[in-house]
């Protein structure tokens, strides 16, 4: 088959799937939007990649206006049109689309229908719920109508899809209640590319140059957006003045965090740009404790993929997340981290203190994290499961 995987964000595990499917003899075209600010995966063709594997970056003529509602809406539609144009030109047999904003996804699905390709909606998040939480606050009068429209649009597209891949079983009852047949839903949890994010020594040459020699290292690596309240990072830096709180992120929230840290005189909190993907293992391996958090409103609807990279790297996780979130359950079930409710700052700091004081606990949880990743992130098994979805 010719399989086109459209991964709006360009994350590491989606392009690993594309490589795996190409290694099985399929022609695979991997599209991603280069202008979206997020940590990127290995998005160039490498020596040894199959001949039938291709990666294409979709670009815009100006920087992506993430923080401006109307400009962002226009650009998300334009990205959708550009991806749709490539779909019509390439005429794949199957289109798998992941992480796309709903306006972008609408163009992608229409293009797949136009050429008679099967369409698989790879559902990473229930986006209309996020829109319903944010837009009415930003646009008080029309916000509720806008949110209702996007809820209608999202579930209409899900119903029109040939198959839906959900990242958690928690999505299944929501989807079936909205009229998506259970037989068209497959649950395949997200993962991280094991071979590309191996455990690395804490004091590698790269890590020593990046972190320096001072103190315990807390690391947050990933997107900071509306689902992420950075007060957790400020609280860590205040409670542990002799530790490093290192944040690798970009965008408006990251800039605001850097400003707040400077205003508070927190010299132990640094905000830096994302590192190249090739340096990610050394970045993660150089940390002692990985940090993850999402807001209560995220509930079951958003699973932080950064945690999967943390697990692959074999480091313990300090989390503040809803109790019902899949990531919370994974960390607690496999004893790979300490998680508190995302409204309890003191519990978060108490967990941080426990990890800071107990090197043996950090080592055990890091070992548990990697052990889980080795069991769950087998790309051959994951590729087989996706082919089962695509072919039926």
Question: In terms of Cα–Cα distance, which of 269, 274, 244, 242 is closest to 256?
Answer: 269
Is 281 in contact with 198 (CB distance < 8 Å)? yes
Q: Are strands 118-123 and 163-166 parallel, antiparallel or unpaired?
A: parallel
Structure tokens at 296: 């209560």
Q: What is the dihedral of CA 257, 340, 283, 253, to 10 degrees?
A: -20
DSSP 284-341: HHT-SEEEEE--GGGTTSB--THHHHHHHHT--EEEE--TTSHHHHHHHHTT-EEEE-
With a threshold of 0.75, does the pTM exceed it?
yes
Q: What is the pLDDT of residue 309?
A: 94
Task: Name the strand (E) or helix (H) holding 163.
Answer: strand 163-166
Q: What are residue 94's DSSP bridge partners?
A: 3, 118
Tell me the average pLDDT across 7-21. 96
The secondary structure of the chain in percent helix, strand, coil, rounded to multiples of 5, reads 50, 15, 35
Q: What is the pLDDT of residue 314?
A: 97
Most confident stretch, 57-66, 139-148, 201-210: 201-210
Q: What is the pLDDT of residue 320?
A: 93
pLDDT-wise least confident of 184-198, 213-227, 364-378: 213-227
CA 35 to chain centroid: 16
Q: What is the pLDDT of residue 301?
A: 65
Identify the structural domains of the chain with CATH numbers, from first to last. Answer: 2-191+377-391 (3.40.50.2000), 205-376 (3.40.50.2000)
For the chain, percent of residues with pLDDT exceeding 70: 98
Q: What is the pLDDT of residue 298?
A: 63
For 276-325, write each residue's pLDDT tens digit: 999 999 999 999 999 999 877 666 666 778 899 999 999 999 999 988 88
Angle between helix 252-263 and 231-239 (nearest 10): 30
Q: What is the pLDDT of residue 303?
A: 73
Phi then psi for residue 155, to 5 deg, are: -75, -25
d(CA 29, CA 92): 9
Tell me the average pLDDT across 162-179. 95
Tell me the average pLDDT across 160-171. 95
The DSSP secondary-structure symbol of 278 reads G
125 Cβ neighbours under 8 A, 6+ residues apart: 301, 302
pLDDT-wise least confident of 47-56, 223-232, 247-256: 223-232
For the chain, percent of residues with pLDDT exceeding 90: 79
The CA-atom distances, in angstroms, between 258 and each of 36, 169, 230, 283, 304 are 21, 37, 10, 19, 22
The CA-atom distances, in angstroms, between 76 and each of 84, 137, 147 are 12, 21, 17
Q: What is the pLDDT of residue 186?
A: 97
């Amino acid at each position: 088959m010719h399989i086109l995987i459209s991964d709006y964000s360009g994350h590491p595990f989606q392009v690993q799937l594309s490589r795996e499917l190409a290694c099985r003899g399929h022609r695979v075209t991997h599209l991603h939007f280069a202008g979206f600010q997020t940590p990127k995966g290995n998005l160039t063709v490498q020596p040894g990649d199959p001949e039938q594997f291709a990666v294409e970056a979709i670009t815009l003529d100006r920087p992506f206006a993430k923080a401006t509602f109307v400009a962002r809406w226009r650009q998300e539609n334009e990205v959708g049109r550009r991806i749709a144009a490539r779909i019509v030109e390439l005429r794949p047999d199957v289109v798998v689309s992941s992480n796309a904003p709903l306006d972008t996804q609408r163009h992608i699905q229409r293009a797949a229908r136009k050429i008679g390709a099967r369409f698989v909606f790879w559902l990473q998040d229930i986006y209309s719920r996020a829109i319903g939480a944010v837009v009415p606050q930003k646009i008080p009068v029309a916000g509720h109508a806008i949110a209702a429209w996007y809820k209608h649009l999202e579930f209409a597209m899900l119903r029109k899809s040939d198959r839906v891949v959900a990242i958690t079983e928690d999505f299944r009852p929501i989807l079936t209640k909205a009229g998506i047949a259970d037989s068209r839903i497959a649950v395949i949890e997200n993962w991280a590319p094991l071979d590309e994010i191996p455990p690395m020594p804490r004091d590698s040459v790269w890590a020593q140059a990046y972190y320096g020699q001072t103190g315990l290292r807390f690391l947050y690596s990933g997107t900071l957006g509306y689902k992420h309240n950075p007060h957790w990072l400020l609280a860590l830096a205040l409670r542990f003045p002799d530790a490093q709180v290192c944040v690798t992120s970009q965008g408006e929230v990251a800039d605001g965090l850097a400003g707040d840290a400077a205003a508070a005189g927190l010299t132990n909190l640094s905000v830096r740009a994302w590192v190249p993907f090739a340096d990610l293992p050394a970045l993660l391996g150089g940390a002692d404790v990985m940090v993850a958090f999402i807001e209560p409103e995220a509930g079951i609807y958003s699973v932080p993929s950064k945690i999967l990279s943390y697990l692959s790297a074999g480091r313990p996780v300090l989390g503040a997340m809803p109790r019902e979130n899949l990531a919370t359950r994974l960390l607690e079930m496999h004893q790979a981290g300490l998680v508190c409710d995302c409204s309890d700052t003191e519990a978060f700091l108490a967990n941080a203190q426990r990890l800071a004081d107990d090197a043996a606990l950090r080592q055990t949880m890091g070992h548990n994290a990697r052990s889980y990743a080795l069991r769950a992130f087998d790309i051959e098994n994951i590729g087989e499961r996706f082919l089962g979805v695509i072919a039926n």
